[in-house]
Structure 1
Amino acid sequence: MIALAIPALDEPYFAEIAGLIVEAADRRGWTVLIDQTGGDRSGQKPVTSGSHSHRIDGSITSPLALTGEGIADLAQQRPVVLLSEDSAHVSADRVAVDSVRAAHEATLHLIELGRQRIAFIGAQAPGGAGTVRLSGYRSALIEAGRRPDQALIVRASPLRRAEGAAAMARLLTVKEPPDAVFCANDLLALGTIRTLLSSGLRVPEDVAVAGFDDIEDARFTSPSLTTVSPDKREIAEVSVDLLCRRIREGADGPPVNVVAGHRLQVRESTVGVAVTSGPPGEAGPAQSR
């Protein structure tokens, strides 16, 4: 039996990852105990000290609120694999996309489209995915010779639709509103698009929008959403493979850091409507960087 600890089962990205991990574990005859942590430290406890703790052989966890010390303690109890974009988490095996690079690419896409005032929605406390992706956003602007405008960087926590909608409403009140927005995840982007359309603005003609995660809704919303698409299947398969190795061979050896693949999926929310040849919401053949 292995434990899978994720922040929220109703977040599409984590639900998709969980399903793929269950599939990979099932092929090995493993049972997966899923814990919903809520993204706080107390929610991690069932994985480490719950009623099934003595039966758990290893765990895969998204350690949003665990410190380096907490992760080290968890790794000492049993084999653990982290689904973490925070490079500070070095005390256990880790699988993640290079979110800094991916966010850089998404922002660069908006720059190459000629957008002048590119906002970021989803800044968070240190260690959160939003903070990691903000770093990539900043680096792309600096590379293009632009100075990041703090007025165009909006915090959002949690990274949900409502927070994206509210953040976009705040951006529309600044003296010079943005003509493009990069959101730390797709849920924020969906909320952002809702506010823009409700305000009588066009996407992407007036404001281009890009997200991160490539959840299923990104393909079927209107306009379909340009987004960073992590290789979720690779993340799931590698996580289970690493955990399997640790369970069989023990905890000896240095932690392994695996960077999963990603691509930028370009759709209608940044380039407009194209001739469609795929499922609803797909802006023609998928483009990628």
Structure 2
Amino acid sequence: MPAKRTTIKDVAKKANVSIRTVSNVINNRDDQMRPGTKSRVERAIKDLGYQVNRSARALKTGKTKVLGLAMPDFDQPFIGFLVNAFDEAARRRGYATVSSLFGFSNERRRDFADSIPRINADGWAYLFEEPIHPDSPLFQQNVPLILISDYSSAGMYDIITMPNTESSQYLTNTLFDQGSSSIAFIGAPESLYDKSAADSDKLKYLIMNATDGNGTLRLKGYVLAHLQHGKEIPWNQVIPTKHMTSFSGVTATYNLLKNKVLPDSIVCVNDAVAMGVISTLIRNGFSIPEQIRVCGFDNIPESEISVPPLTTINFHIDQYAQLAVDALVSRINGNLEPANTFTSGFNLIERESTRIFS
């Protein structure tokens, strides 16, 4: 015979509390509960192996206690890092998570949009790496949505973002203040060059007036730091990439090495690009940081074990993910306030790839 399923009544009996008290613990309604009572219930749940019957709860409440997280693909190490942080943040709020991909083509996005009712999450967080038209089928949904993105939602949805410009300006200023005299930037968006047709004045205008896109905004911080220090912007050392990957960093580094005069420091648009840059420089006989210092953004786990360990901007991924979960849960719970923008903090983590400054 199959084993008898543990019920909430069994948990209440073992913990010597009411069924309502167990329900409050399960549903995170335990703010006013004595710590000892909560601990006793949690221990009983663990000892008995109790699991919430989510199907029954969804039928009763109309909610599944599941949050969806969707993104175009997994080509960035940062995305896996974020998925883990989002799941942990959701569990702290009593939610499970499901992740899915919506790709880059219109057909793929329509397929994903059609699947959302079947997945049956209470709400979705979309991670965008490019602007998405408001009429996209991704937005034609009957569940709450928020965006994890550096692109505007035109006031339609809450946005979780990073201080891209401020952090990049801080990083570049730090390099100048600690003795660097020539700083390159690898990872400028190719689209900027399509619009400016290699006209440096127009390129500068586009960058200074940019309001979205993490690559453009990080480049903006780099430009602002040069202006702050009265430095000419070395446009021949601002290298565009099509993607923000390690392979793009390799290609961009070879393009940088074509210059007769090389920089003593390189700001990379993210850690993935920086690792491609470091690998290529070392293969070409350069010593890091003695000849060229390299730094990035995101503080992905691999940045700490790269060779040498990478100096990087840490965007507090746990806070970033928690902001996303809290905003989405708030909308699920009926928050009808106008759309907000929530921005994480940052700090600079200095490691061996620039430690010559110390």
Greater shift in the superposed pair: 255-264 or 31-40: 31-40
Structure 2 Cα separation of the partners of residues 258 and 11 of structure 1: 22
Structure 2 Cα separation of the partners of residues 71 and 236 of structure 1: 24
**2:121 pairs with 1:36:** no
**2:127 pairs with 1:62:** yes
Q: Tell me which of 288, 292, 306 is aligned to 1:207.
A: 292
Structure 1 pair 54–13 and aligned structure 2 pair: CA distance change class (3 A): closer
Structure 1 Cα separation of the partners of residues 140 and 226 of structure 2: 38
**2:345 pairs with 1:261:** yes
Q: Tell me which of 158, 180, 183 is aligned to 1:93.
A: 158
Tell me the equivalent position of 1:15: 80
Note the aligned Cα RMSD (angstroms). 2.4
Structure 1 pair 210–17 and aligned structure 2 pair: CA distance change class (3 A): same
Deviation at 1:128, TM superposition (A): 3.4
Greater shift in the superposed pair: 177-186 or 76-85: 76-85
Tell me the equivalent position of 1:281: none
The one-letter amino acid paired with 1:103 is S
Q: Percent identity?
A: 29
State the SS of the aligned residue for 1:60. Answer: strand
Deviation at 1:271, TM superposition (A): 1.5
Greater shift in the superposed pair: 208-217 or 117-126: 117-126
Deviation at 1:52, TM superposition (A): 4.0
State the SS of the aligned residue for 2:267. Answer: strand
Q: Is the 8 A contact 2:89 2:318 kept in 1?
A: no
Q: Tell me which of 196, 214, 217 is aligned to 1:129.
A: 214
Deviation at 1:53, TM superposition (A): 4.9
Structure 1 pair 66–177 and aligned structure 2 pair: CA distance change class (3 A): same
Per-residue deviation, residues 23-78 of structure 1 (Å, max 9, x unmatched): 22234443422122445655544553226457232111112234352479727643
Q: Tell me which of 238, 242, 247 is aligned to 2:327.
A: 242
* TM-score, structure 2 normalization: 0.70
Structure 2 Cα separation of the partners of residues 107 and 26 of structure 1: 37
| Structure 1 portions without partners, runs of 5+ | 275-289
Higher helix share: 2
| Structure 2 portions without partners, runs of 5+ | 1-65, 193-211
Structure 1 pair 179–273 and aligned structure 2 pair: CA distance change class (3 A): closer
The one-letter amino acid paired with 2:345 is G
Q: Is the 8 A contact 1:99 1:136 kept in 2?
A: yes
Structure 2 Cα separation of the partners of residues 39 and 110 of structure 1: 36
Structure 1 pair 217–65 and aligned structure 2 pair: CA distance change class (3 A): same
The one-letter amino acid paired with 2:121 is I
* TM-score, structure 1 normalization: 0.86
Structure 2 Cα separation of the partners of residues 88 and 81 of structure 1: 9
Structure 1 Cα separation of the partners of residues 268 and 103 of structure 2: 21
Instruction: After TM superposition, list the pairs within 5 Å mapping 1:157-236 onto structure 2.
Output: 157-236=242-321
Q: Is the 8 A contact 2:127 2:149 kept in 1?
A: yes
Structure 2 Cα separation of the partners of residues 62 and 121 of structure 1: 23
Structure 1 Cα separation of the partners of residues 136 and 330 of structure 2: 19
Deviation at 1:169, TM superposition (A): 1.1
State the SS of the aligned residue for 1:164. Answer: helix
Structure 1 pair 257–69 and aligned structure 2 pair: CA distance change class (3 A): same
Structure 1 Cα separation of the partners of residues 217 and 118 of structure 2: 32
Structure 1 pair 88–151 and aligned structure 2 pair: CA distance change class (3 A): farther
